Amino acid sequence: MPIINSAFLPPCPLLLPDIGKENSKILNKTTLAYQELAELLRSAEIETLIIISKQNPYSSKRIALNVASTLSLDFSDFGHIAEKRSYNPALGVADSIYQAIGAERAVRLISAENLDAGSGIPLYMLGEEMKKLKILVIYTSNILNKAAHYEAGQKIREALQDRPEKISIIASGSLSSRLKKNSLNGYLPKASRFDNKLIEYLTKADDAYKKVLKIEESQEIELQDRSLKQISLQLGIIGNTYQTKILAYQNDFGIGYLSMFFDLQVAQI
């Protein structure tokens, strides 16, 4: 099976020292989680990284595959002066997915050379080694619901079955942004319970997707969650046979930053 492992990661700009300054030190546990995941990807000899991001550069009614011939990382808009990085696109993987389900109009192709923060920050935080991998960014739909994303993920999983390379799936997003009294969107006491419950759902592989899909859209909006479509697509791709490890969870800035690893190989032994 080509899908070896998966992860959920927060694309927080404050993780970048030039942007976060002293705040990046507060997120040290998350930085260490990124470093641990980078080592897990290396030890598993991952060859292709598929990143699921919410931050589609084009307003799209469909799930989108970024098939730009070059993928570039540039955080100058954030005031980050670090060197620009380029990555190799996983065009073969994108073609396999599109050939399998493109005719159903479940996905569309886009070309965006500059990576969004949702994909770019995880790549940067995972280190220089990621430049050796091939990268495919998949963007969630602005219109489709969680169930449609899960179903699309299942179809993507089928399309990847015969691929020769070792693949890892990373979903990028943040949980509730109403966790502290200083939260920009205001404090909501039940936001913390929501994050804890979502993490609990993900650790129980057998019915994680059922629990996630049952979360009401009104609750997502109220709690300002920015993760559930990415997670729904991710769960559709990786299936329900995995073991999880929580690498970090921080809410110091009133936003739930979860770093979680999904091991698909341990579960098969």
pTM, entire model? 0.94
Closest listed residue to residue 150, CA positions, set 239, 259, 262, 46: 239
- Say if CB 27 and CB 181 are below 8 A apart: no
At 151-163, the pLDDT tens digits run 999 999 999 999 9
| Residue 14: strand, helix, or coil | helix
Average pLDDT, the chain: 92
Instruction: Please give the radius of gyration of the chain, using alpha carbons only, rounded to the nearest integer.
Output: 17
Cα separation, 242 vs 12, whole angstroms: 26
pLDDT, position 196: 96
Class of domain 3-268: alpha beta
Residue 238 has pLDDT above 80, yes or no: yes
Q: How far is CA 214 from the centre of its chain?
A: 20
For a pLDDT cut of 70, what percent of the chain falls above it? 95
Q: Name the band, by pLDDT with cuts 50, 70 and 90, for residue 106.
A: confident
Closest listed residue to residue 208, CA positions, set 156, 249, 260: 260
Residue 2 has pLDDT above 50, yes or no: yes
The amino acid at 202: L
At 17-62, the pLDDT tens digits run 888 888 899 999 999 999 999 999 999 999 999 999 998 877 778 8
For 229, counting Cβ atoms within 10 Å of its Cβ (0-12 exposed, 13-18 middle, 19+ buried), the class is buried
Average pLDDT (89-111) is 90
| Residue 207: strand, helix, or coil | helix
Sketch the domain layout of the chain as residue ranges.
3-268
Closest listed residue to residue 27, CA positions, set 261, 180, 248: 248
Q: How far is CA 177 from the centre of its chain?
A: 17
